[in-house]
A and B are shown apart, each in its own frame.
Chain A
Amino acid sequence: MRYLHFILPVMFCLISGGVAGAQELEQFRLKSGEDPIQAKPLSWDFQTGSLMLELADGTSREVPASELHSADMRLVEKIMTKQMLAGRRGEPVSGVTSKTLGSDRSASVDRIHGVRWLADENVARKIASGGEGPNDDRPLVWFRVLGDMTGFM
Protein backbone atom coordinates (compact mmCIF):
# COMPACT_ATOMS: atom_id res chain seq x y z
CA MET A 1 0.00 0.00 0.00
CA ARG A 2 2.88 2.30 0.81
CA TYR A 3 4.30 1.70 -2.70
CA LEU A 4 0.93 2.58 -4.26
CA HIS A 5 1.29 6.14 -2.98
CA PHE A 6 4.50 6.38 -4.96
CA ILE A 7 3.55 4.43 -8.08
CA LEU A 8 0.18 6.07 -8.76
CA PRO A 9 1.50 9.64 -9.01
CA VAL A 10 4.37 8.43 -11.20
CA MET A 11 1.94 6.62 -13.53
CA PHE A 12 -0.25 9.71 -13.66
CA CYS A 13 2.72 11.84 -14.60
CA LEU A 14 3.81 9.44 -17.31
CA ILE A 15 0.31 9.27 -18.82
CA SER A 16 -0.34 12.99 -18.66
CA GLY A 17 3.16 13.65 -20.01
CA GLY A 18 2.47 11.40 -22.96
CA VAL A 19 -0.83 13.11 -23.73
CA ALA A 20 0.73 16.55 -23.41
CA GLY A 21 3.56 15.46 -25.66
CA ALA A 22 1.11 14.45 -28.36
CA GLN A 23 -0.62 17.80 -28.09
CA GLU A 24 2.55 19.85 -28.29
CA LEU A 25 3.59 18.89 -31.79
CA GLU A 26 4.74 21.87 -33.78
CA GLN A 27 5.55 22.24 -37.43
CA PHE A 28 9.12 23.17 -38.32
CA ARG A 29 9.91 24.18 -41.88
CA LEU A 30 13.34 23.71 -43.36
CA LYS A 31 15.29 25.82 -45.81
CA SER A 32 16.10 22.74 -47.84
CA GLY A 33 12.49 22.49 -48.94
CA GLU A 34 12.18 19.09 -47.29
CA ASP A 35 8.72 18.31 -45.90
CA PRO A 36 8.06 20.19 -42.66
CA ILE A 37 8.88 18.29 -39.49
CA GLN A 38 6.03 17.60 -37.08
CA ALA A 39 7.69 17.37 -33.72
CA LYS A 40 7.71 18.42 -30.13
CA PRO A 41 10.54 20.84 -29.34
CA LEU A 42 12.60 19.35 -26.56
CA SER A 43 15.41 21.80 -26.05
CA TRP A 44 17.73 24.34 -27.51
CA ASP A 45 21.41 23.55 -27.26
CA PHE A 46 23.21 26.79 -26.56
CA GLN A 47 26.58 25.23 -27.29
CA THR A 48 25.83 24.00 -30.79
CA GLY A 49 22.98 26.32 -31.76
CA SER A 50 20.73 23.38 -32.52
CA LEU A 51 17.18 22.51 -31.72
CA MET A 52 16.46 19.03 -30.39
CA LEU A 53 13.10 17.73 -31.57
CA GLU A 54 11.07 14.70 -30.58
CA LEU A 55 9.35 13.34 -33.67
CA ALA A 56 5.85 11.89 -33.63
CA ASP A 57 7.24 8.34 -33.66
CA GLY A 58 9.19 9.02 -30.47
CA THR A 59 12.60 9.33 -32.07
CA SER A 60 14.64 12.50 -31.71
CA ARG A 61 16.26 14.70 -34.31
CA GLU A 62 18.69 17.55 -33.92
CA VAL A 63 18.25 20.47 -36.33
CA PRO A 64 20.81 23.31 -36.52
CA ALA A 65 19.27 26.78 -36.44
CA SER A 66 20.91 27.55 -39.76
CA GLU A 67 18.74 24.89 -41.42
CA LEU A 68 15.45 26.18 -40.06
CA HIS A 69 13.14 28.45 -42.01
CA SER A 70 13.37 32.05 -40.84
CA ALA A 71 9.67 32.15 -39.95
CA ASP A 72 10.24 29.44 -37.36
CA MET A 73 13.11 31.19 -35.62
CA ARG A 74 10.60 33.11 -33.51
CA LEU A 75 9.38 29.78 -32.21
CA VAL A 76 12.96 28.81 -31.39
CA GLU A 77 13.41 32.03 -29.45
CA LYS A 78 10.26 31.26 -27.46
CA ILE A 79 11.62 27.82 -26.62
CA MET A 80 14.92 29.33 -25.51
CA THR A 81 13.14 31.81 -23.28
CA LYS A 82 10.91 29.14 -21.75
CA GLN A 83 13.95 26.93 -21.20
CA MET A 84 15.94 29.63 -19.48
CA LEU A 85 13.06 30.70 -17.25
CA ALA A 86 12.56 27.08 -16.20
CA GLY A 87 16.28 26.77 -15.56
CA ARG A 88 16.31 29.84 -13.38
CA ARG A 89 13.42 28.50 -11.32
CA GLY A 90 15.43 25.34 -10.84
CA GLU A 91 12.84 23.25 -12.65
CA PRO A 92 14.00 20.29 -14.70
CA VAL A 93 13.74 20.86 -18.43
CA SER A 94 13.22 17.88 -20.67
CA GLY A 95 16.26 17.02 -22.75
CA VAL A 96 18.41 19.78 -21.33
CA THR A 97 21.65 18.80 -19.71
CA SER A 98 23.51 20.86 -17.18
CA LYS A 99 26.17 21.41 -19.81
CA THR A 100 23.79 23.13 -22.17
CA LEU A 101 21.81 25.03 -19.58
CA GLY A 102 23.46 25.04 -16.20
CA SER A 103 24.16 28.46 -14.79
CA ASP A 104 25.73 29.70 -18.00
CA ARG A 105 24.83 33.37 -18.01
CA SER A 106 25.86 33.74 -21.60
CA ALA A 107 22.95 31.62 -22.67
CA SER A 108 20.29 33.68 -20.97
CA VAL A 109 17.40 35.31 -22.76
CA ASP A 110 15.69 38.29 -21.19
CA ARG A 111 12.82 40.47 -22.21
CA ILE A 112 13.58 43.98 -21.09
CA HIS A 113 11.70 47.06 -22.22
CA GLY A 114 9.67 44.76 -24.47
CA VAL A 115 12.81 43.74 -26.34
CA ARG A 116 14.22 40.21 -26.41
CA TRP A 117 17.84 40.35 -25.26
CA LEU A 118 20.45 37.64 -25.60
CA ALA A 119 23.66 37.60 -23.61
CA ASP A 120 25.82 35.73 -26.08
CA GLU A 121 27.05 36.93 -29.45
CA ASN A 122 27.33 33.46 -30.97
CA VAL A 123 23.72 32.64 -30.19
CA ALA A 124 22.64 36.05 -31.48
CA ARG A 125 24.60 35.53 -34.70
CA LYS A 126 23.02 32.16 -35.29
CA ILE A 127 19.57 33.66 -34.91
CA ALA A 128 20.46 36.68 -37.05
CA SER A 129 21.61 34.45 -39.88
CA GLY A 130 18.66 32.13 -39.49
CA GLY A 131 16.97 33.45 -42.57
CA GLU A 132 16.13 31.39 -45.60
CA GLY A 133 18.41 33.46 -47.78
CA PRO A 134 20.65 36.52 -47.49
CA ASN A 135 17.57 38.73 -47.67
CA ASP A 136 16.09 37.21 -44.52
CA ASP A 137 19.10 37.96 -42.34
CA ARG A 138 18.73 40.53 -39.60
CA PRO A 139 21.42 42.87 -38.29
CA LEU A 140 22.67 42.54 -34.73
CA VAL A 141 22.63 45.26 -32.12
CA TRP A 142 25.28 44.86 -29.47
CA PHE A 143 24.79 46.92 -26.33
CA ARG A 144 28.24 47.01 -24.71
CA VAL A 145 27.44 48.50 -21.33
CA LEU A 146 29.03 49.14 -17.99
CA GLY A 147 26.77 47.11 -15.73
CA ASP A 148 23.63 45.32 -16.80
CA MET A 149 20.66 46.09 -18.95
CA THR A 150 18.37 47.10 -16.12
CA GLY A 151 20.68 49.29 -14.14
CA PHE A 152 23.16 50.86 -16.50
CA MET A 153 23.17 54.60 -16.97
Chain B
Amino acid sequence: MRTVSFSQPDVCNLLDKDFVCYHTSTEGDATAGMSIRHSPGDPAGTCIRGNGPQNLQILFLTPEGEIFHVVSGFVPADELKQELMFAKSLFDEIKRSASKSNVRPETIVVDSHRTRLANFGFSEDQIESRGLGLMTGGMSMPGMEAIMNQAGQMARSGSQPVAGQSGSVFDSMIRGQVLTDHQFCMRYPLTSSEEFERDPTPLVGNGKSFFMSSSGGN
Protein backbone atom coordinates (compact mmCIF):
# COMPACT_ATOMS: atom_id res chain seq x y z
CA MET B 1 0.00 0.00 0.00
CA ARG B 2 2.66 2.43 1.08
CA THR B 3 4.63 1.98 -2.12
CA VAL B 4 2.07 0.74 -4.62
CA SER B 5 -1.29 2.43 -4.02
CA PHE B 6 0.30 5.86 -3.71
CA SER B 7 2.71 5.34 -6.58
CA GLN B 8 0.67 7.37 -9.06
CA PRO B 9 0.85 11.16 -8.71
CA ASP B 10 -2.74 11.27 -10.03
CA VAL B 11 -3.95 9.30 -7.02
CA CYS B 12 -2.13 11.52 -4.54
CA ASN B 13 -3.32 14.69 -6.29
CA LEU B 14 -6.92 13.48 -6.19
CA LEU B 15 -6.65 12.58 -2.50
CA ASP B 16 -5.06 15.88 -1.57
CA LYS B 17 -7.23 18.14 -3.69
CA ASP B 18 -10.69 16.61 -3.61
CA PHE B 19 -10.76 14.87 -0.22
CA VAL B 20 -9.85 15.53 3.39
CA CYS B 21 -7.80 12.56 4.55
CA TYR B 22 -7.39 11.17 8.02
CA HIS B 23 -6.19 7.91 9.45
CA THR B 24 -6.59 5.84 12.57
CA SER B 25 -4.82 2.69 13.68
CA THR B 26 -6.70 -0.48 14.57
CA GLU B 27 -3.79 -1.85 16.58
CA GLY B 28 -5.28 -3.56 19.62
CA ASP B 29 -8.77 -3.69 18.10
CA ALA B 30 -10.42 -7.09 18.45
CA THR B 31 -11.48 -7.08 14.82
CA ALA B 32 -8.09 -6.09 13.42
CA GLY B 33 -6.09 -8.58 11.41
CA MET B 34 -2.47 -9.50 11.93
CA SER B 35 0.58 -8.32 10.05
CA ILE B 36 4.32 -8.37 10.13
CA ARG B 37 5.52 -4.81 10.56
CA HIS B 38 6.93 -3.51 7.30
CA SER B 39 9.29 -0.59 7.33
CA PRO B 40 8.78 2.21 4.79
CA GLY B 41 11.93 1.11 3.00
CA ASP B 42 10.82 -2.48 2.50
CA PRO B 43 10.40 -3.40 -1.14
CA ALA B 44 6.78 -3.92 -2.10
CA GLY B 45 5.60 -7.51 -2.25
CA THR B 46 3.06 -8.94 -4.63
CA CYS B 47 -0.52 -8.24 -3.59
CA ILE B 48 -3.88 -8.57 -5.20
CA ARG B 49 -6.81 -6.31 -4.58
CA GLY B 50 -8.61 -7.09 -1.35
CA ASN B 51 -5.64 -8.67 0.45
CA GLY B 52 -5.81 -8.02 4.19
CA PRO B 53 -9.38 -6.66 4.44
CA GLN B 54 -9.14 -6.59 8.22
CA ASN B 55 -5.85 -4.75 8.10
CA LEU B 56 -7.02 -1.85 5.99
CA GLN B 57 -10.36 -0.26 5.27
CA ILE B 58 -10.65 2.89 3.20
CA LEU B 59 -13.93 4.55 4.09
CA PHE B 60 -15.47 7.53 2.33
CA LEU B 61 -17.58 9.82 4.49
CA THR B 62 -19.65 12.95 4.20
CA PRO B 63 -18.45 15.88 6.34
CA GLU B 64 -21.17 14.79 8.80
CA GLY B 65 -19.35 11.47 9.23
CA GLU B 66 -21.74 9.26 7.25
CA ILE B 67 -20.13 6.38 5.35
CA PHE B 68 -21.14 6.19 1.68
CA HIS B 69 -18.41 3.99 0.20
CA VAL B 70 -15.79 1.53 1.43
CA VAL B 71 -12.83 -0.31 -0.05
CA SER B 72 -11.30 -3.07 2.04
CA GLY B 73 -7.80 -4.46 1.80
CA PHE B 74 -5.02 -3.67 -0.62
CA VAL B 75 -5.91 -1.62 -3.70
CA PRO B 76 -3.58 -1.13 -6.68
CA ALA B 77 -3.02 2.49 -7.68
CA ASP B 78 -5.11 2.46 -10.86
CA GLU B 79 -8.06 0.88 -9.07
CA LEU B 80 -7.72 3.27 -6.13
CA LYS B 81 -8.00 6.10 -8.63
CA GLN B 82 -11.24 4.60 -9.97
CA GLU B 83 -12.58 4.26 -6.42
CA LEU B 84 -11.73 7.88 -5.66
CA MET B 85 -13.50 9.05 -8.79
CA PHE B 86 -16.56 6.93 -7.99
CA ALA B 87 -16.61 8.28 -4.43
CA LYS B 88 -16.27 11.87 -5.59
CA SER B 89 -19.07 11.44 -8.09
CA LEU B 90 -21.36 9.76 -5.55
CA PHE B 91 -20.62 12.46 -2.96
CA ASP B 92 -21.58 15.15 -5.49
CA GLU B 93 -24.82 13.31 -6.17
CA ILE B 94 -25.59 13.06 -2.44
CA LYS B 95 -25.02 16.80 -2.11
CA ARG B 96 -27.29 17.56 -5.04
CA SER B 97 -30.02 15.48 -3.41
CA ALA B 98 -29.99 17.82 -0.41
CA SER B 99 -31.92 20.37 -2.45
CA LYS B 100 -34.53 17.82 -3.54
CA SER B 101 -37.08 16.97 -0.90
CA ASN B 102 -38.33 13.87 -2.71
CA VAL B 103 -34.96 12.08 -2.92
CA ARG B 104 -33.46 10.38 0.12
CA PRO B 105 -29.65 10.36 0.12
CA GLU B 106 -29.72 6.75 1.38
CA THR B 107 -31.58 5.75 -1.78
CA ILE B 108 -28.93 7.41 -3.92
CA VAL B 109 -26.19 5.48 -2.11
CA VAL B 110 -27.96 2.14 -2.48
CA ASP B 111 -28.83 2.71 -6.14
CA SER B 112 -25.31 3.85 -7.04
CA HIS B 113 -23.71 0.78 -5.50
CA ARG B 114 -26.27 -1.53 -7.09
CA THR B 115 -25.67 0.03 -10.52
CA ARG B 116 -21.92 -0.20 -10.13
CA LEU B 117 -22.08 -3.88 -9.20
CA ALA B 118 -24.30 -4.53 -12.20
CA ASN B 119 -21.79 -2.71 -14.41
CA PHE B 120 -19.08 -4.97 -12.98
CA GLY B 121 -21.07 -7.93 -14.26
CA PHE B 122 -22.66 -9.10 -10.99
CA SER B 123 -26.08 -10.67 -11.36
CA GLU B 124 -29.10 -9.59 -9.36
CA ASP B 125 -28.86 -12.78 -7.28
CA GLN B 126 -25.24 -12.08 -6.45
CA ILE B 127 -25.97 -8.48 -5.56
CA GLU B 128 -28.78 -9.55 -3.22
CA SER B 129 -26.87 -12.54 -1.77
CA ARG B 130 -26.26 -12.63 1.95
CA GLY B 131 -22.63 -12.91 3.02
CA LEU B 132 -21.22 -15.88 4.88
CA GLY B 133 -17.92 -14.37 5.91
CA LEU B 134 -14.54 -13.39 4.61
CA MET B 135 -13.49 -16.85 3.46
CA THR B 136 -16.00 -16.59 0.63
CA GLY B 137 -15.64 -12.88 0.20
CA GLY B 138 -18.95 -12.32 1.92
CA MET B 139 -20.86 -14.41 -0.57
CA SER B 140 -22.99 -17.49 -0.36
CA MET B 141 -21.37 -20.49 -2.00
CA PRO B 142 -23.80 -20.52 -4.95
CA GLY B 143 -22.95 -16.88 -5.52
CA MET B 144 -19.26 -17.66 -5.27
CA GLU B 145 -19.51 -20.47 -7.81
CA ALA B 146 -21.44 -18.27 -10.19
CA ILE B 147 -18.81 -15.58 -10.01
CA MET B 148 -16.00 -18.05 -10.52
CA ASN B 149 -17.76 -19.44 -13.59
CA GLN B 150 -18.52 -16.00 -14.89
CA ALA B 151 -14.94 -14.81 -14.47
CA GLY B 152 -13.69 -17.82 -16.38
CA GLN B 153 -16.21 -17.28 -19.17
CA MET B 154 -15.33 -13.62 -19.51
CA ALA B 155 -11.64 -14.43 -19.60
CA ARG B 156 -12.21 -17.02 -22.31
CA SER B 157 -14.42 -14.73 -24.37
CA GLY B 158 -11.94 -11.87 -24.15
CA SER B 159 -14.45 -9.45 -22.59
CA GLN B 160 -13.21 -6.18 -21.22
CA PRO B 161 -11.79 -6.91 -17.75
CA VAL B 162 -13.13 -4.90 -14.86
CA ALA B 163 -12.38 -5.27 -11.14
CA GLY B 164 -11.33 -8.89 -10.70
CA GLN B 165 -12.05 -10.03 -14.22
CA SER B 166 -8.59 -10.53 -15.60
CA GLY B 167 -9.04 -14.27 -15.87
CA SER B 168 -6.55 -15.03 -13.12
CA VAL B 169 -7.14 -17.65 -10.46
CA PHE B 170 -7.57 -14.81 -7.95
CA ASP B 171 -10.56 -13.27 -9.74
CA SER B 172 -13.17 -14.85 -7.50
CA MET B 173 -11.43 -13.57 -4.37
CA ILE B 174 -11.08 -10.07 -5.77
CA ARG B 175 -14.66 -9.94 -6.95
CA GLY B 176 -15.84 -11.38 -3.65
CA GLN B 177 -14.24 -8.49 -1.78
CA VAL B 178 -15.58 -5.92 -4.24
CA LEU B 179 -19.06 -7.40 -3.75
CA THR B 180 -18.71 -7.41 0.05
CA ASP B 181 -17.69 -3.75 0.11
CA HIS B 182 -20.57 -2.60 -2.07
CA GLN B 183 -23.10 -4.79 -0.25
CA PHE B 184 -22.04 -3.21 3.03
CA CYS B 185 -22.85 0.24 1.65
CA MET B 186 -26.19 -0.98 0.35
CA ARG B 187 -27.19 -2.57 3.66
CA TYR B 188 -25.87 0.21 5.87
CA PRO B 189 -26.21 3.35 3.72
CA LEU B 190 -24.83 6.45 5.40
CA THR B 191 -24.15 4.67 8.67
CA SER B 192 -22.15 6.86 11.01
CA SER B 193 -18.42 6.47 11.53
CA GLU B 194 -19.10 6.16 15.27
CA GLU B 195 -21.46 3.26 14.67
CA PHE B 196 -18.92 1.58 12.38
CA GLU B 197 -16.14 2.03 14.92
CA ARG B 198 -18.34 0.50 17.61
CA ASP B 199 -18.96 -2.59 15.48
CA PRO B 200 -17.05 -2.97 12.21
CA THR B 201 -17.91 -6.69 11.93
CA PRO B 202 -20.64 -6.22 9.29
CA LEU B 203 -17.79 -5.25 6.97
CA VAL B 204 -14.69 -6.99 8.31
CA GLY B 205 -16.30 -10.07 9.88
CA ASN B 206 -15.18 -11.87 12.99
CA GLY B 207 -12.30 -13.86 11.55
CA LYS B 208 -8.65 -12.95 11.51
CA SER B 209 -6.82 -12.21 8.31
CA PHE B 210 -3.06 -12.29 8.31
CA PHE B 211 -1.08 -10.13 5.97
CA MET B 212 2.55 -10.42 4.99
CA SER B 213 4.02 -9.30 1.71
CA SER B 214 7.37 -10.34 0.37
CA SER B 215 9.32 -9.32 -2.68
CA GLY B 216 11.31 -12.54 -2.58
CA GLY B 217 15.06 -12.68 -2.48
CA ASN B 218 16.12 -11.07 0.76
**Which residues of A are interface residues toward B (Cβ below 8 A)?**
113-121, 123-125, 127-129, 134-135, 137-153
A151 and B95 form a contact (CB under 8 A): no
Shortest distance from the beta carbon of B66 to any chain A beta carbon, whole Å: 10
B59: A residues at CB distance < 8 A: 141-142, 144
- Contact check: which of A118, A123, A144 meets B57 at CB < 8 Å? A144
B16 and A119 form a contact (CB under 8 A): no
B27 and A146 form a contact (CB under 8 A): yes
B37: A residues at CB distance < 8 A: 147, 151
The answer to whether B165 has its CB under 8 Å from any CB of chain A is no
B32 and A143 form a contact (CB under 8 A): no
A139 and B91 form a contact (CB under 8 A): yes
6 A-B pairs with C-beta separation under 8 A: A124-B20, A124-B22, A134-B95, A137-B95, A144-B58, A144-B59
The answer to whether B63 has its CB under 8 Å from any CB of chain A is yes
The answer to whether B61 has its CB under 8 Å from any CB of chain A is yes
B15 and A141 form a contact (CB under 8 A): yes
Interface residues of B in 60-113 (CB under 8 A from A): 60-65, 68, 74, 84, 87-88, 91, 95, 98
Q: If A140-B19, A145-B26 touch, does A134 touch B12 (CB 8 Å cutoff)? A: no
B27 and A115 form a contact (CB under 8 A): no
A153: B residues at CB distance < 8 A: 1-2, 35, 38, 47, 51-52, 55-56, 74, 211, 213
Q: Which of B6, B23, B27, B84 has the most CB of A within 10 A?
A: B23
The answer to whether B218 has its CB under 8 Å from any CB of chain A is no
